[in-house]
Amino acid sequence: MKSWILFLFTLLPVSTSYSTDHKFYLSVTQMEYEVDKSRVTAISRVFIDDLEETLKQRYEVQLALGTEDEDPKATYYISRYVEQKLVVEINNKPLEFDFVGFTFQNDQIVLLSEFSLISSDNLEIKVINTLITDRYSEQQNLVHFRMNKRKQSEVLTKDRPFFVVRL
C-alpha cells in the first residue's frame, strides 16, 4: 500500500483548478505490469462530476462523492462500475480484478485497481477502457501502459475502446 501512496504523490493531476462545468471529457489511466508481484496496477483519474453523472444514470444513485453526505455504498458502486469498464486481458482471458479504493484530488477522483496475472510464455495483453463513454460519447481515455521500463500510450474512445500492448 505504501507503494500506491508514493506513486499517487508522483503523479501530476490532469487539472489543478476546480470547476464543475468543463467542456472536455478526459480520463488518464497509468498502468504498470509488475512481474515480480504478479499483477498489473492501475491508477485512473476521472472528473468527479462525470463519474457521478455516469453512476447516477447507470445505477440510479446519488453518491455525493467527496462530501460529508457521501453515500456509504459509494465504494460498492464505483468498484462495480470500474470492474466492468476497465479490463485487462492476457491471451483473451480477463484478469482477476481487485478494486483497491479511491481518493480525491481537486475536481478528480483517483481510482486504484489491481489485476492478478496469469502464467503464460506468450503474452498478448489487451487493455480495455470504456470509463464514462456510456454517458459521454466524446469521452477520451488516455492510457499509459508500462512494462519492462518501456511505455505505450494510447487514446481510447467509445469507437476505439481497446488496444493491444506492443512492448
How does pLDDT run across 59-71, given as a tens digit for each residue?
A: 999 999 999 999 9
pLDDT digit string, tens, across residues 22-39: 578 999 999 999 989 999
Assigned domain for 55 exists: yes
Q: Which grid cell sits at 133? A: 463513454
C-alpha distances (whole Å) from 44 to each of 85, 98, 107, 124, 130 are 12, 14, 13, 22, 12
93 or 17, greater pLDDT: 93
Assigned domain for 154 exists: yes
Which pLDDT does position 148 carry in this prediction? 87
Assigned domain for 129 exists: yes
11 or 117, greater pLDDT: 117
pLDDT digit string, tens, across residues 16-25: 334 455 578 9
Which pLDDT does position 24 carry in this prediction? 81
Assigned domain for 4 exists: no
Query: How many folded domains does the chain comprise?
Result: 1
Grade residue 167 by pLDDT with cuts at 50, 70 and 90. low
Assigned domain for 136 exists: yes
pLDDT digit string, tens, across residues 134-157: 999 999 999 999 998 999 999 999
Contact in structure between 125 and 146 (CB atoms under 8 Å): no
Assigned domain for 5 exists: no
- Residue 86 clears pLDDT 80, i.e. is over it: yes
Residue 91, domain extent: 24-164
Which pLDDT does position 21 carry in this prediction? 59
Assigned domain for 149 exists: yes
Q: What is the pTM of this model?
A: 0.85
Tell me the Cα Rg of the chain. Answer: 16
Half-sphere exposure of 103 (CA within 13 A, CB side): 9
Assigned domain for 1 exists: no
Sign of CA dihedral 42, 140, 106, 56: negative
